[in-house]
Amino acid sequence: MFRRTIASSVSALARQMPVARRQALAAGSRMVSTGAVKPSIARSRLAWVAAVGTVGAAVAFAGAAGTVGLEDESLLKRFVRASYSGEDGVLQRTVQPDTGTPPFAIELDSDGQESVMVALGIRTVSFLKIHVYALGIYMAKNDFARLQKVLASKPEYTDASALIDPTTGPALVQAILDAGVDLTLLIVPVRATSFSHLRDGFVRAVMGSARFKALEQSTDAAVSEAASAGLDDLRTMFSRKMSVPKHRKLFLHRRADGTLACKYENGSGPSPEVVDLGVISSRPVADALVQQYLSGETPSSEQARNAFVDSVVRIAQL
């Protein structure tokens, strides 16, 4: 009864949408009904927008399916209006990235914070586009309204071209981080790797940040020393001589206070050992690392960045 009510509500709303939106809903429904939504930005931006919409719908109607629910009822209604369900009204719980990892859940409980997926992508290297890891970006369920307030204060930044722009995009993401929006990056290697390999990639990402470079080169000794110390903390955190088998989970939780808490699931199965890697208290380092996935001219995952842009545009329009 509950799901039929959802399905009829979404169908009624869909009939009121423009043709282009209905076409996107239909495309998304066909993908979701197979149980394997594959968000390929290159193949179909509209299909991935619809996939993100499924996340919103699934989150909104949490009770029966056991997923988390947002608390602002009016926001839930806007999510439904901008979202879709499968032809049978069943809402999906997972999304499959364009690689060989297991599907990513649309709901995440990290560090005691319930979050929902807002982007999914893969990290590739070299001109051969070798898959390194899949990446899910999750936002705290209570921070959707907070994000909307940020977007309302910066309407000039809420179109896709501005968000992808190497100047305005990072500025908006920084405003989101400064507002205390809670974000978690879930990284799942496609192939076996090591902590040292991951560390090198993260360090390069931070050092490539224009904002971090400015702080590190500041004439204020205290500012530059704090930035360098934060980078050393990141190196130390991943200095363990540990291999990382494929499909293990690494959580980078950028908390509302600006710190970055890192955890690693050292095992598989329903109850894997969770290794607490520590917390990086340097806000410039935490922000620079997150920024590298959400914005910039050469993001660590262009697919994840584009998916995040689609989500921000959608939320701004709700």
* Residue boundaries of the structural domains of the chain: 1-96, 99-304
Query: Sorting pLDDT into bands at 50, 70 and 90, what band is 167?
Result: confident
Q: For residue 279, is pLDDT > 80?
A: yes
Q: Rg of the chain over CA atoms, in angstroms? A: 19
CA 259 to chain centre: 17
Sign of CA dihedral 298, 299, 304, 308: negative
Query: Sorting pLDDT into bands at 50, 70 and 90, what band is 175?
Result: very high
Q: Is pLDDT larger for residue 51 or for residue 262?
A: 262
Q: For residue 60, is pLDDT > 50?
A: no
Q: How far is Cα 14 from Cα 77, in angstroms, rounded to an integer?
A: 13
Q: How confident is the prediction for the chain on average, in pLDDT?
A: 77
Residue found under tokens 């979701």: 32
Instruction: For the domain covering 99-304, report its CATH number.
Output: 3.50.70.10
Q: How far is Cα 65 from Cα 114, in angstroms, rounded to an integer?
A: 15
Report the pLDDT averaged over residues 122-135.
Answer: 91
pLDDT score of 268: 82
Report the pLDDT averaged over residues 181-193.
Answer: 96
pLDDT score of 41: 40
Query: Sorting pLDDT into bands at 50, 70 and 90, what band is 7?
Result: very low
